């Protein structure tokens, strides 16, 4: 039976613990693929980032994580889908998101993790603001992010 774990995390995201949980669930599978998104230390203009602020909606954010994880589980031949996403203030170098999947065979696990991230980038209900020495700016998906998402249409 396929299982889906999707969680909004307001505290520290412990990527090692998330992976260990996925490994535990994946007993019998032949492949696990995981991705960890990390807060960057510089903006695209090469200015230092002091913190990343991830604002969320009290109900829609978790629903979006659950829907994206569920869709990945439906779409690929995977056994487990595991998504954890931070909210709140994040320091550079800290993890923002963990997206992983286990499967009997590696291809499905790779594709599921890739799909999860493309959808999280463009559809997860967060508003991202980088704050640094030159002020604050909202971060929105790039054209490349939308094109990556479009690969799965």
Partner 1 sequence: MFAEAQLKIRSYGKLADLFGAECEVSMNAPCTVAALRQQLIENHPEAADVLRDKRVRVVLADVVMQDQDIIPRGEVPEFLAPVSGG
User: How far apart are CB 128 and partner 1 at their closest, in Å?
Assistant: 5
- DSSP E strands, the chain: 3-9, 31-38, 49-56, 80-86, 88-90, 95-103, 126-132, 135-139
Told to check if 145 binds partner 1 by CB under 8 A, we report yes
Does 128 participate in binding partner 1 (rule CB under 8 A)? yes
- 57 interacts with partner 1 by CB under 8 A: yes
Cβ atoms of 101 and 78 within 8 Å: the answer is: yes
**Residues 11, 24, 27, 59: which binds partner 1 (CB under 8 A)?**
59
Q: Are 98 and 22 in contact (CB under 8 A)?
A: no
- Residues engaged in binding partner 1 (CB under 8 A): 37, 54-55, 57, 59-60, 63-64, 85, 96-97, 117, 120-128, 138-141, 145
């Amino acid at each position: 039976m396929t299982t889906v774990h999707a969680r909004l995390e307001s505290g520290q995201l412990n990527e090692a613990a998330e992976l260990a949980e996925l490994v535990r669930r994946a007993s019998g599978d032949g492949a696990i693929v995981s991705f960890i998104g990390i807060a960057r230390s510089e903006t695209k203009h090469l200015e230092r980032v002091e913190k990343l602020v991830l604002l969320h909606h009290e109900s829609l954010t978790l629903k979006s994580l659950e829907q994206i994880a569920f869709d990945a589980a439906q779409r690929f031949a995977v056994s487990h889908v595991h998504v954890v996403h931070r909210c709140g203030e994040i320091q550079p170098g800290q993890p923002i998101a963990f997206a992983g999947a286990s499967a009997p065979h590696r291809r499905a696990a790779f594709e599921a993790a890739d799909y999860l991230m493309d959808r999280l980038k463009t559809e997860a209900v967060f508003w991202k603001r980088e704050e640094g020495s030159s002020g604050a700016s909202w971060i929105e998906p790039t054209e490349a992010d939308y094109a990556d998402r479009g690969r799965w249409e």
